[in-house]
Amino acid sequence: MTVSEENNGGVPEASFPPVQNGIDCLADVTGHPSLGQPSPRNLMYAVLHLQAAAEVLLKARPVQEHWSLVSNDPGTAKHERF
């Protein structure tokens, strides 16, 4: 994650590059269950982070080609909603 205050009048703007974000989620997956006997809550968050990592990493390459490729309906997708 990067934080920039340059173009926002001093208000921090966060940036989460997809690959870096996906790798971070994967790191959380390995961290939650490894704390001894995993609790149901730790397992739940490990599964949620694994799903998020998979989705972000699988969408990263199509977004490089064109942002609309990860839309449900690329023909009617609007960049403002992306």
In tens, the pLDDT along 44-80 reads 888 999 999 999 999 999 988 888 888 888 888 888 8
Question: Are the beta carbons of 61 and 67 closer than 8 angstroms?
Answer: no
- Is 30 within a domain? yes
Residue labelled with tokens 């998020």: 52
Residue range(s) defining the domain that contains residue 51: 18-64
First to last CA, the chain: 19
Q: What is the pLDDT of residue 57?
A: 93
In tens, the pLDDT along 3-34 reads 454 555 677 788 888 899 899 988 888 776 55
pTM for the full predicted model: 0.66
Total of domains in the chain: 1
- Is 77 within a domain? no
